[in-house]
Each structure stands twice: as C-alpha cells, then as structure tokens.
A and B are shown apart, each in its own frame.
Chain A
C-alpha cells in the first residue's frame, strides 16, 4: 500500500535532483535531461493526486504532459545541434554570444 506522503516525498526528491543538475552541470544535454526529470516528478504528483481523489483527470493531464515533454525535448535537442554547428561546443560556459 502506498500513502500519498511517500509519493510526494519521492517526487520532491526527484525534482530537487533535477534542480541541482540544471544548476551545477555544464553540459547542455545533461541540463535538458534534468528538465525532463523535473517534468516527470510533476507527472508523478499528478498521478498520485488522481489516485487520491479518485478521478481520472490527473492521469489524462499526465498523458498530455508527456506529449508536451516530447515536443520540448525535440526543440531542445535541435537547439543543441544548432549550437554545436555554430560554436563547436555544448558546454554552456562557452556559449556567451550575448555577453558581447
């Protein structure tokens, strides 16, 4: 049996790992993966609350969110490839076009 607090705690920890990864990694690909991880933590909450309230809306929205994450990752990876073509790197420290 699962209780709601266990799900919320796991989801919070997953989200924290995602935030830490976005802030401390330099590789743009790993940063994108961490954003995906944060979206998944939100999805887990949607499903837990759907289970808690007994309605199916949370699961439907989790499915929509999954499609949205796929669209986001496609655009993000296209940006990474375009940046690699232009600057020959995917390390975010080296990408400072706007700094002048």
Chain B
C-alpha cells in the first residue's frame, strides 16, 4: 500500500497530464456547450495540478483562481446569455477535419523532428530538478511566491506595466463591444 501511494506521488505529473487531456477531449467532443465548459474547467484544474507538481505553487493557485474562478464563470454566463438550444439538432462539427488532420500532422512532424534525438536519448532519463547553483540567493522551491515576485517586479517590470495597460484597453473594449446600440 505504501509502495502504491509512493508510485502515485512520483507520477503525479503524468496523472494530472492525462486527466487534463481527457478533459480537453471532452471539451472538444461534447455536444452541449455546458458540457464543453465543464470539460474545460476540469482540464484547467488538472493543469493547475501539473503546475503544482512542477513546483510552481503560486502559479497553480493563480491558475485555479483565474480560470476556475473567473474565466469559466464568464463562459457559463455567456452560455446562459446566448441561447444555444435552438441549434441543438444540427451537426456540431465543421467539415474542416481534413485541415485539422493536416495541421496536427505537420505539428507532429515538427515535434518529432526536434525531439528525435532527445526523446529517447540520455536526456530523457534526467529528472527535472532545480540546480542549486542557478537559483542564486533565492530558494525557489520553498519561497515560490517571493521568487516569482522578484522576477516580476525586478526583472520584468516594464512588461508587467504594459500588461496593465492591455487589461485596461481590453476592459474598455469589452464594454464598448457588448453594450447595446442606441440609435
């Protein structure tokens, strides 16, 4: 039993990753939009679990708050707002499956070309751990939020401020786009 639990603990990333893939597949394949949103929610929670198992604790929590708490609720509101039931009878898929297959095949070819040597080479055995000489002065593993804040406010302050302007523009744009027209 202890051995079993230890195995699960060691393979936490793979478990969450496969569950995220399942959620994404449900999202693409389900007929009802509400089921799609629920699959999306499940995939986002599992990706948060992946972040946690990669020891990005702050980002995992931010993922749960932003996606499960904000974006999924927004999607559900819009699903409620736009009435989807009247299109329930028709086919849910485009006939663009050929393009989809071709695009994914090109992507898979590029992926395998890049990782042909490394996927089964000696690097594939190497576990993803932090080299202590690289994280100078910070203990990224135990002070994740402090480390991220140092990266954000010391090294990348300008992108952060630009992001705040982008958020303001998106806010105004969303209000302008969604408001009712007055003639």
Binding site for B on A (CB under 8 A): 1-8, 10, 12-21, 23-27, 29-30, 32-34, 36-37, 40, 43-44, 47-48, 50-57, 59-64, 66-75, 77-82, 84-85, 89-93
Contact = CB atoms under 8 A, between A and B. Distances in A.
B148 A59 contact: yes
Contacts of B33: 27, 29-30
B67 to A, nearest CB: 8
Nearest to A60: B151
A17 B125 contact: no
A77 B70 CA distance: 13
11 contacts: A2-B14, A12-B108, A14-B24, A27-B36, A34-B27, A64-B163, A70-B71, A73-B74, A77-B75, A77-B78, A84-B81
Interface centre among B56, B124, B135, B163 (most CB of A within 10 A): B56
A51 B66 contact: no
B21 A82 contact: no
Given A15-B107, A23-B103, A25-B28, A70 B96 contact: no
A57 to B, nearest CB: 6
Chain B's interface: helix, strand, loop or mixed, by majority?
helix
Given A12-B107, A14-B21, A71-B166, A5 B118 contact: yes
Contacts of B118: 5
Contacts of A26: 91-94
Nearest to B17: A10
Given A27-B92, A75-B177, A82-B177, A5 B47 contact: no
Closest 3 CB pairs of A and B: A54-B134, A60-B151, A71-B170
Given A27-B33, A60-B152, A73-B74, A81 B128 contact: no
Nearest to B104: A16
A33 B27 contact: yes
A12 B111 contact: yes
B167 to A, nearest CB: 5
B135 to A, nearest CB: 5
Nearest to B82: A84
A25 B93 contact: yes
